[in-house]
Structure 1
Amino acid sequence: MKTMLAYRAEPTVVTVLSSSLAWDKPKLRSGGNIKNLHNHIGVKYPKCTKSITSSYNMGGRTRKPDPDKIHDILGGRMVEENRVFQQELMVRSSDIGSDRKLSIVALSNYLQDTLVNHGELIGVLSDGFSTPEMSRRDLVWVAYKTGIAIHCYPSRHDVIQVHTKLYESGKNRLGVDWIFSDLNSGNPLILASSLYTMMNMRKRKLSKFVEEARMELKPYFMPENSPLIENTRKIQTINIDTTDFTSLDLCPGWNDLDINQHVNNAKYIEWILEGVPSSIKKSHGISRIDMEFRKECDSDATLQCLSKMVGNYNSESHSSANGNNEGLIEVEHSLRLDSGQEIARGRTSWNPKHHQQLG
């Protein structure tokens, strides 16, 4: 496999300041005050709870944590009238990147793992990503959209508390919200939201939300939903003639496939990051990711990632039009098969690292 990064002459990007990302910087572990995230983007989140039991059940695959126990550090517990799932996670050495902070790929895996734990604890997952009624019809959940907003990166050995909640999004989609908080201070670190739709595993086609499956999930739906995805700007189509950076010959490996026999969503994010020059990744950190998943990708695919800078930007100096480095950098991405068919598109927002309050 050979990967090539091609540069177009005089790429253009502008400094973009999104109101949803212009957050006040928290003072982690210092006891300082911080405004709630819902004041910035309208998201409510449960209060961070620090209680953890001294013992927990290691168990096997059939382990069913008792929701009445005060806490099960492996499986988590239900809070907020049994509608919100809460779990603690410790950032491991394998979860951090070169900057010693939680990597984006590890964060993507956290989203999946806590969601599956949520479904197993309330008893609505029978096999992988299906409810019992979905399994009878060969249906599974597949991601349609994902949005991640990062306010502060946790480090190795930091303990973070995750809350997940479910809600209906329209007639045919399931919405999931995640809130990542610092366990010591209770300050929110990361927000994420995803929309899921049903797919028929035999026909490999999308399906309507089966009413019997809706009734299985309905007792656990929250009434409100996050605007993290709904209020997101549309990601524009990238013309190959105007792209700024191109990554070629991207190929999935066997370990990139999930139990639905297609490429895991975390791999899509890893691929679009390949379309950003290392010079930007060294000087900037990701503050926002938006993804739209359009088509399955299997193990035999060969892909290319097209990336285009948004606005007026100098790639050599990493400076905005006014000569400083105060603004965000935004990059739009398109993952395509060699045939030209688009399988996903995304947008990443990058802040200068010295502007990010890292934990």
Structure 2
Amino acid sequence: MTSMAASRNLGFQFPWNFSNAKKENMEVLKLRLYSSCNTNMLNNKRRFSLVTANSHSSPQKVDTVNGTKVNGIHVVEAPLSGSKLANESAADAALVTSLRGRFVEGRFVYRQIFAIRSYEIGPDKTATMETLMNFLQETALNHVTSSGIGGDGFGATREMSLRKLIWVVTRIQVQVQRYSKWGDEIEIDTWVDAAGKNGMRRDWIIRDHYTKEIITRATSTWVIMNRETRRLSKIPCEVKQELVPFYLYRIAVASEEKDCEKIDKLTDETAERIRSGMAPRWNDMDANQHVNNVKYIGWILESVPIEVLEDFNMTSMTLEFRRECQQSNLLESITTPTARIIGESNNSINRKPDLQYTHMLRLQDNKSDVVRARTEWHFKSK
């Protein structure tokens, strides 16, 4: 993106007959080249803000990225020259703000924009469920960081960090109306609310950035865990005081569409397909030293029939997290068709699913379930 912007700012202008150019034309050419190069240099200075404490000393590290301190030393942005640069600066600032996210609706809702990249799509050139889950997770973390209450933990508040506490998700439901294509831009809104006495609910809505069509809804419940003992904890009063100002009583998934049904535990007898020998890698671990929640989706799909993956879209997924998974564990993925009659589901956004499946990830050695899941699928329209 930077190289493209730089190319636009060069603005080379040559006479039609360069070989027969007169002296005055050459002078005009030199002036334009000089002016354009200066403009480009100013842009580069403004964008990268490489400032040193002393021009004769060794270079310092970049102190700020889009106005955020990096190594603790304040850096002043290079001055702008001319209204054109000022206009570009405002446009750049607006773009950076939208990409990094911002608060809307009185700081109750946090909004962030994403573009669907080529490495975030599947064989059908649309975003995958894993991509959507990554977007939801990224928006949630940026919400906490931008709120001013973020601590030094991964999504934890300051009071949580002092007490060595972290958030863990226990259940998440995602409903997809349609999947975005490569190059599409989406915007995600997220907000939080209390869930019972010792939980927090986080909801998301994904829209097409330009048409504002709602294409995905998601809801989740979270509890607090001690990161050292790995035991669940009550939410301390100090943590509640941090969260309450951000609570918004609003639901993304309507009550009649929310998947509250128990997800059955699968066994060797009830499973239709079993895939064994899946091992978490180092890169599958997150900052809280357990397997990243999004990684489970790929393992769940390992036991789904290939013809389902090819001919159907997953339109609903509910994940129920039962226990942590460590890097040393081996997993088994189990899938079986749901016994319910097709069309009985309440969480398909008024569309009867063509297929329903129950899934489970379990530890291979002792058969303990790690994640239970339920999915719904619709036939892809040709």
Structures share fold, TM-score greater than 0.5:
yes
The structure 2 residue matched to 1:100, chosen from 105, 120, 125, is 125
Q: 2:375 corresponds to which residue?
A: 348
Instruction: Report how many residues are paired.
Output: 285
- Gapped runs of 5+ residues in structure 1? 1-54, 64-68, 314-325
Q: Kindly provide the CA deviation profile for residues 23-51 of structure 1, in whole angstroms up to 9, marking residues without a partner as x.
A: xxxxxxxxxxxxxxxxxxxxxxxxxxxxx
Alignment map for 1:160-239 (pairs within 5 Å) = 160-227=186-253, 231-239=259-267
- Taking the aligned partners of 2:203 and 2:142, their CA distance within structure 1 comes to 14
Residue identity opposite 1:58 in structure 2:
N
Q: 2:301 corresponds to which residue?
A: 273
- Taking the aligned partners of 1:274 and 1:227, their CA distance within structure 2 comes to 28
Alpha-carbon distance, 1:227 to partner: 4.4
Asked if structure 2 preserves the Cα contact closer than 8 Å seen for 1:159 and 1:182, the reply is: yes
The structure 1 residue matched to 2:286, chosen from 258, 281, 292, is 258
Residue identity opposite 2:319 in structure 1:
M
Residue identity opposite 1:277 in structure 2:
P
Asked if structure 1 preserves the Cα contact closer than 8 Å seen for 2:205 and 2:252, the reply is: no
Q: 2:33 corresponds to which residue?
A: none
Distance 1:289 1:327, change over 3 A: closer
Q: 1:122 corresponds to which residue?
A: 147
Report the TM-score when normalising by structure 2: 0.70
2:321 corresponds to 1:289: no
Distance 1:90 1:226, change over 3 A: closer
Q: Kindly provide the CA deviation profile for residues 54-88 of structure 1, in whole angstroms up to 9, marking residues without a partner as x.
A: x996355759xxxxx96712321111111000111
Q: Kindly provide the CA deviation profile for residues 253-301 of structure 1, in whole angstroms up to 9, marking residues without a partner as x.
A: 1000000100000011111111101111101010000000010001000
- Taking the aligned partners of 1:228 and 1:296, their CA distance within structure 2 comes to 29
Look up the SS of the partner of 1:73 in the other structure: helix
- Taking the aligned partners of 1:282 and 1:143, their CA distance within structure 2 comes to 30
Look up the SS of the partner of 1:174 in the other structure: strand
Give the greater-gyration-radius structure (CA). 2
Q: 2:338 corresponds to which residue?
A: 310
Residue identity opposite 2:367 in structure 1:
G
- Taking the aligned partners of 2:177 and 2:330, their CA distance within structure 1 comes to 34
Distance 1:196 1:100, change over 3 A: same
Residue identity opposite 2:318 in structure 1:
D
Asked if structure 2 preserves the Cα contact closer than 8 Å seen for 1:75 and 1:121, the reply is: no
- Taking the aligned partners of 2:287 and 2:129, their CA distance within structure 1 comes to 21
Alpha-carbon distance, 1:225 to partner: 3.4
Asked if structure 2 preserves the Cα contact closer than 8 Å seen for 1:263 and 1:298, the reply is: yes
Residue identity opposite 2:328 in structure 1:
D
CA RMSD of aligned residues (A): 2.3
- Gapped runs of 5+ residues in structure 2? 1-46, 49-64, 72-92, 342-351
Asked if structure 2 preserves the Cα contact closer than 8 Å seen for 1:193 and 1:228, the reply is: no
Asked if structure 2 preserves the Cα contact closer than 8 Å seen for 1:175 and 1:225, the reply is: no
Report the TM-score when normalising by structure 1: 0.75
